[in-house]
Structure 1
């Protein structure tokens, strides 16, 4: 996963960030305050990339709120992070939506007859599975087993198996079929012991917290993609692209003003449920529960600032 260094990228200016956020005067008071108050105090501008960072390799143009509005959108491994914990942390990001954990499936069975879909990665010497076969199975499962298709926005598979999208690729963290509302995401490389997971033994507390934080970041990031939100280049943000786990670890577990407004727009008729103070409060409580100290400090500071301005 390498390419030439993209020397053409320059971080957006204040004017470009303001343009990306768009006209805020028609917004409800809650979302307007959340995307305008104390921005310089709480959100760091997107930095000049280092060689090897995501935007130094990939030509990201950025997606403004206005462009987003025009986008057509579809409405047990021993060291695996807890799926229940991932869902608990993810719920506040999607007000008005319900997250349901479906029964476990063994995709190794249905890929056995498609031998070209399985391979041993030449670098890690570990088995890998082709994403298209898994997504195809999830599509069939969604059509066959879900009785109220209009009620279901997305069907998302998560796995601790390593995956790849095409023969020329080393690996991929995840892949989505946005038009079908289907995604498959792998947490295998989020484990610090990868590729020697089988012999690593139980997680330490530090590893458990790191893996859970990475898994939540990947899951929420990729689900937000399914709403039509592209990678962010305006601030340090949950929706920044990441080429490596190290780059991922440097990114926050919160949405910048531009992406927060996009999710507000994506909530459609559920805007009545989109209460930023409530969202931040719930996430803050979850940060405390999962011992995400840096994230807890950010959310508490943001809440204090927003509540202070409201009181005045």
Structure 2
């Protein structure tokens, strides 16, 4: 399939001059997916190889190809029923697609910077430090995750330990947000105080112990990324080895988009969180996992429906899966299995099985949270597929 190009016309001195902007599009075809994935490590266990083979054996056309074939052949092409990962409908520009090779090159520079900062490399396993940024209200401090006996913060640490299988999670004492020299503002619609997320990173980097790979911070307060943007659920900066996620408070951005009171939002819809429920926990897990993957240098995914898809609203973020596609999974597996002194700590089968068990326990009584149930069902189907095939040729 030939590359796609965009052509834009611009007016110059009363004459129309064609301004050709060449933007090569990276179509989600099997050949391009293979290029982004690179060679799969044949030393992986058989079940892990099956996980990657799912996309290597999926030759279903991308949406652009479907439309072209339908116009020419007047037929509808469907993805095979065995496909476990759904391709995104739009094909991204090539520069937006981070291949495994590009990721390794980026992280080589990241490790060089760590060397200059005096970070330790010879560790038995990678270590992430979890920092709660308070103060938190009583409903958060007194909450316990059902089926675990853990506090909410402890449960989130356990989730990260299971998701980044083989990584050690160390919980740091809570730090008051007043300790951070952050720029502040009042939300234009709600009047609630917000903090500029980028101002957290220098201090977080200075707090990271020399044996840590990164620091994951969780704040109760609203965050915003820049003066012209409304809010942000979380943000990461791999150069500062850190990320920040926010509980977020109930304000118009979580209810009816970005229009605020212009949409007639009632005052009670802008009240702070007073009860911890399944949807809040689900959002926290997804935001924390997403931003922590950014700390590992993984960029947004533009090929499959994946945890690393970009989102522009809280509603869109909630709809994204809590699963890494093989293109993103390979980067995390390599990081957790090859960088520490103890090799092969991360196994996909263990990652999926422990994640499903944890989600079932935490979300057991959340009947309305269909996303969690769908995720557990998907994991069970994938585990059955991985176990059914003893070996695969890659």
Judge same fold: TM > 0.5, yes or no: yes
In structure 2, the CA distance between the partners of 1:248 and 1:59, relative to structure 1 (3 Å rule), is: farther
Structure 2: which 5+ residue stretches go unaligned? 1-22, 59-81, 115-135, 144-151, 256-267, 364-371
Structure 1: which 5+ residue stretches go unaligned? 1-6, 50-54
User: For 1:110 and 1:224, how far apart are their aligned partners in 2?
Assistant: 24
Q: Is the 8 A contact 2:204 2:240 kept in 1?
A: no
User: For 1:188 and 1:298, how far apart are their aligned partners in 2?
Assistant: 28
Q: Is the 8 A contact 2:100 2:331 kept in 1?
A: yes
In structure 2, the CA distance between the partners of 1:63 and 1:97, relative to structure 1 (3 Å rule), is: same
In structure 2, the CA distance between the partners of 1:13 and 1:197, relative to structure 1 (3 Å rule), is: farther
Which protein has the bigger strand share? 2
User: For 1:183 and 1:60, how far apart are their aligned partners in 2?
Assistant: 24
Name the counterpart of 1:296: 376
Match of 1:244 among 313, 320, 333: 313
How much has 1:172 moved relative to structure 2? 2.3
In structure 2, the CA distance between the partners of 1:257 and 1:139, relative to structure 1 (3 Å rule), is: closer
User: For 2:306 and 2:250, how far apart are their aligned partners in 1?
Assistant: 19
TM-score for the superposition, normalised by structure 1: 0.80
How much has 1:9 moved relative to structure 2? 6.8
In structure 2, the CA distance between the partners of 1:60 and 1:297, relative to structure 1 (3 Å rule), is: farther
Name the counterpart of 1:202: 275
Higher RCO (CA-CA < 8 Å; seq separation 6+)? 1
How much has 1:209 moved relative to structure 2? 1.1
CA deviation map 1:135-192 (0-9, x unaligned): 23323333xxx4xx1x211112111201123333322222333122122221205885
Report which stretch shifted further, 95-104 or 217-226: 95-104
Match of 1:185 among 238, 245, 258: 245
Name the counterpart of 1:3: none
Q: Equivalences for 1:85-124 in 2 at 5 Å? A: 85-108=155-178, 110-111=180-181, 117-124=183-190
TM-score for the superposition, normalised by structure 2: 0.64
Report the count of equivalent residues: 284
Report which stretch shifted further, 208-217 or 15-24: 15-24
In structure 2, the CA distance between the partners of 1:226 and 1:190, relative to structure 1 (3 Å rule), is: farther
Deviant stretches of 4+, over 6 Å:
7-10
How much has 1:215 moved relative to structure 2? 0.9
In structure 2, the CA distance between the partners of 1:201 and 1:187, relative to structure 1 (3 Å rule), is: closer
User: For 1:119 and 1:134, how far apart are their aligned partners in 2?
Assistant: 15
What's the RMSD between the two structures over aligned residues? 3.0
In structure 2, the CA distance between the partners of 1:250 and 1:202, relative to structure 1 (3 Å rule), is: closer
Q: Equivalences for 1:158-307 in 2 at 5 Å? A: 158-188=218-248, 196-198=270-272, 201-203=274-276, 208-267=277-336, 268=338, 269=340, 270-291=342-363, 292-307=372-387
User: For 2:153 and 2:28, how far apart are their aligned partners in 1?
Assistant: 36
How much has 1:14 moved relative to structure 2? 2.5
Higher Rg of the two aligned structures = 2
Q: Is the 8 A contact 1:20 1:64 kept in 2?
A: yes
Which protein has the bigger helix share? 1
In structure 2, the CA distance between the partners of 1:22 and 1:110, relative to structure 1 (3 Å rule), is: closer
User: For 1:87 and 1:161, how far apart are their aligned partners in 2?
Assistant: 19
Q: Is the 8 A contact 1:264 1:271 kept in 2?
A: no
Name the counterpart of 1:35: 52
User: For 1:121 and 1:11, how far apart are their aligned partners in 2?
Assistant: 40
User: For 2:355 and 2:85, how far apart are their aligned partners in 1?
Assistant: 17
User: For 2:335 and 2:85, how far apart are their aligned partners in 1?
Assistant: 22
Q: Does residue 130 of structure 1 match 2:200?
A: no
